[in-house]
Amino acid sequence: MKEIDKTEELVNYNLWANKQLINWLKTNDKELLIKECKSSFSYLRFK
């Protein structure tokens, strides 16, 4: 397998995984996504 093919495969997998995560986040109550919590990232906010 060529190096460019490996890179393209990894990029495509990353895109798929990110879409899965975003779709899952969209199924949650929006208030939970902006609710403050004690951690490194205090909330998630989508524009």
Domain boundaries, the chain: 1-47
pLDDT of residue 24: 92
pLDDT for 46 equals 64
pLDDT of residue 39: 75
Q: Where are the alpha helices (DSSP H) in the chain?
A: 3-26, 30-34
Instruction: Output the pTM of the full model.
Output: 0.61
Q: Looking at residue 29, what DSSP letter applies?
A: -
Question: What are the per-10-residue average pLDDT scores of the chain (47 residues)?
Answer: 90 97 90 77 66
Q: Which two tokens stand for residue 3?
A: 């190096």
Mean pLDDT across the chain: 85
pLDDT of residue 38: 77
pLDDT at residue number 37: 74
